[in-house]
Structure formats: structure tokens, C-alpha cells
Amino acid sequence: MPPSTVYGVALGEGNADRENKARQAGAEWYRIIVSWSQIEPNQPVGGIHTYNWSAYDDLIRGLRQWGLHPLIELRSISPWARAVGWEDVDCGLMSPGGLKGYSEFLTALVERSDGDGVGDMEGSPIVRYWEIGNEPDSMNTSGTHYGLCYGNHPDEYVELLARSWDAAHGADPEAQVVFGGLAYENCCDFNSDPLDQVTGPDFFDNVLNYIKNNPRSGGKKYFDVMNIHAYLWFVDWAGYDPPDVRMKYQIVRDKLANCACGLEGVPLMSTEGGRRSDGPNIFGQPPSLKRQSRYVPVLFVGSLAADLKAAFWYAMMDYDGKGYGLLTAANEPKPAYWAYKTLTEEMEGCTYQRELTTADTSSEDIEGHVFEGTSGKEKWVVYLPPHKEGEGITIRQMDFPFSRVRRVEHEKYRGVSGTPIAGAVKEIADGDPDDLGPAGDSKVTLQITLDPIYVEDISGVAGVGVVDADHSEQGDGATGIVSYE
């Protein structure tokens, strides 16, 4: 799996149209759920397991057909493996025999997916990343639960991680065991103050404590990649200051670095993040397709700035009447889908450099990040953060220290088929009508709004793009690929 990419989507597996659209939008990772109880519903007989791999094999082969790298989230404990008191739920603790069966199941699953030619599924497609449950800090076991239900059992979760690490690495030395994405403030009444889920004693602190007091020997680990979920509305609800999911990432990184348990430097990813196009309100603003679309580059550029190994938009499509998706429930692209495609195209080959300061923006209201583009010149991504709308701040003006720029709106395409939007891509030089500053100052001054823009330095570069009379870039309407000399 490419280590330098961060663009993924979650949920929506088993549908070729969705998977194809994910790849066309530039996604490289695809997070999917694999259910143990579906693959092995019945208890082994005489130590012999009976697995039904057909649905799993079809799923992985389908994803690899589109060039998507699967990240597997394991959930749903088989009925025969559940501990006493947990018989009626498919999450939570396992019996001793169930734990043994789990290890053997995971060993077989990873062996089937390691591409070494031994015990592989047909075609030997490779899976490397294995997420152990979902939101393990959840304590909910009734109705719709979050996936693992270990909120009251942090020690047992760590032991499950150790067992998972041994099984996965025993089958495939290159396997990567991923901590189940933590919910934190979106989770199940740990106490009345949601911020205490992050900053005070909680499930994760107890996990780190257990690891500190029970170090593994012989090069063994508990997990390879840390993972946390990051939704904008919970940042708002919990009252983060600043109201940015990157605060959550940093808190987790600090805890890993300071726990004295050998976890400093562990890579971080986020297997869920996003913003719905329907309720709830965020920062006092009602939901909308536009606000969801704006948040796509904000989330992913922030993930690049935070040096995440991977970030996943949740979800690929709307479901259960909820507007999480880049696609509608009928698989039609929403504006957020085109924002995602614009993001992956504009960020391709770019290397993160730094966050803009007020010295760069001349305004504390503007947020932005600097990348080095494929040409070696800088590309800036600039916007007013979402919470500024709630403060009544929707427009600012900013000087860019370049005599000529290529400015790209956060959506280059629209509609079901992705028609290029006229004027979404423009080349603007010092003194042009679109330059809001004085001519001759060797700068380009642009309006900054809640809609993110990509601004690339093309000073002194000839033949950048093909521009019509409206200054809109002409590209391949089917793929959104634009050629440059």
C-alpha cells in the first residue's frame, strides 16, 4: 500500500459502481467491514474450522480490480465464541475457546490475503492493514452499537490487540495491525464533560497504562498504527479550542509520546472523518450539500498537515437516510464527490511544507497550508475555517506573493457526469481584472471565503494549461485530467 497517500473512503463495499467511482475520484484506500460471524458462524468440530470465504474473496478481488487498497475492519464475534453474559450481542468479550478460535481465524484470514502463494485466494491479491474492531471505547451493547463494545474493558482490548498482532504477523510479517478507531467525545457517557474523554482519564489512558505495565518482549508489539475518528460536528459539540480535528490528532500523538510505553513515533491514521449534508447543525449553521463539500479539502489538507498515514472520508454513500456520503444512496455524485476528485487531482505529487501564519495571510481569520508542487513551485490551499461562518465572517482578502497564479475552486466539476465548471480554474497575473490589488506590486490579491481555493505559483512558467476566453481550464470531461506542458 502506498505509504505516501492519505486519500481513502469508508463503507460501500461490494458494489462495483461505488468502487469504480471511488477510484475515479482518486481514492486509493477503501475501508471495509469483514464479519467473522459470517465467515465462520459455526464452532470448529474436533479443532477443524469451516470457513466460507466466498463473499470475502469476491469483495477483495473486486476492490483490487479497481486498484483500491483494502483496509479491513474486523467485527462481529461469532455466536459460539462469546463470553458468558455476552451471548446476545455480536461484540464484546470472548470465551477462552473463542479467543483461541479468533486467533486461528485471523491467522487464516491474513494468510489468505498475503499474496505469498500459500493458502491464498485465487489471484493472490494482497491485504496488509487490519483494524481490530471499530470504536472500541464504546460501551453500548444494545441496539445499534459501534462495533466492539470494550469501553469498560480496556485491559481486555489490549490483550486482544496482542493476540491480533501475533496472529497477523505470524501469517504475514508485513501485516499492519491498526488500533480500532477511537470515538472519544462521540462515545457513550464516559462522563458529563466530552472534553474529558480526550484530556482526562479514559479508555485510551487505561490502554496506555496497561501497555506500559506489560511490555512485550522479542520485538512483539500490541499494534503498528494508531487510529482515531475525527468528525467536525463532534469537534463543535465538544467545544475544542481551536475547533479543529487536528487538535484531536495532536492530543493522541502527545499521549503516545509521553506514556513511557514505547509508542513514540507510532504512525497515526483516521479511518473515519467527515461532515453530513443533513443534520446536525455545526457551529450554529444548518447542514447543506455546499457545507459538506467545503469540508472535504479542509479535512484532507488538515490530515496532510498532521502527517497522517491515511485519512478516510466516511462514508462513500448516503445510507439509512443519513447524508454521510460522497454519493447519494442511488450512487449519484454529490458536490462533495467532486470536491474530493478536485482535491486528489490538485494534491497529486505535492509535498506538505508548512501552515500559513498571519504574516502570510494578514488576517487571523484565514487558514492555509503550503505545499511544494510537482513543478517545484509552491501551491497554497486557503480558506476561512468552517466555524468562521458562525461568527459572521465570510469574506476576507489576501495577497499572494506571486506575479502570476493558477487559482482553482474546490469543485472543478458538477452534476452526475462531472461537467467541468467554466471559470473554476483561472490563470491570474498581477494587474489582471481578477487581481484585486494594485497593478505592478508583483502580487496577486484574491478574495478568500468559506470555499477553499488552491493557488499555485506559475510566475515565469509558460504554457500552463489551456485557457479559454473565460480563463477556464479545458480538460478531459470524463476523467478531469488536464494536460500541461
- In this structure, are residues 356 and 368 in contact, taking their beta carbons and an 8 Å threshold? yes
Domains of the chain: 7-274 (3.20.20.80), 353-457 (2.60.40)
Listing DSSP states for 268-329 in one string gives: EEBS-EE--SSSS-BTTB---HHHHHHHHHHHHHHHHHTT-S-EEEE-SB-BTTB---SB-T
Give pLDDT, residue 472: 38
Cell of 325: 456520503
Cell of 360: 502570510
Give pLDDT, residue 380: 98
Per-residue pLDDT of the chain (485 residues; tens, 9 = 90+): 333 457 999 988 789 999 999 999 999 999 999 999 999 999 999 999 999 999 999 999 999 999 999 999 999 999 999 999 999 888 989 999 999 999 999 999 999 999 999 999 999 999 999 999 999 988 777 656 677 889 889 999 999 999 999 999 999 999 999 999 998 876 654 444 666 666 666 889 999 999 999 999 999 999 999 999 999 988 888 888 899 999 999 999 999 999 999 999 999 999 999 999 998 899 999 999 999 999 999 999 999 999 999 999 999 999 999 999 999 999 999 999 999 999 999 999 999 999 999 999 999 999 999 999 999 999 999 999 999 999 999 999 999 999 999 999 999 999 999 999 999 999 999 999 999 999 999 999 999 999 999 999 999 886 545 343 333 343 322 222 222 12
Give pLDDT, residue 186: 63
Position 62: which residue type?
G
Q: What is the CA radius of gyration of the chain?
A: 24
Residues paired with residue 268 on neighbouring β-strands, in sequence order = 226
**Region at 357 (left for phi over 0; alpha for psi -120 to 50; beta for the rest):** beta
Give pLDDT, residue 478: 24
Cα separation of 52 and 59, whole Å? 13
Backbone angles phi, psi at 169, to 5 degrees: -75, -25
Cα separation of 122 and 385, whole Å? 47
Give pLDDT, residue 197: 62
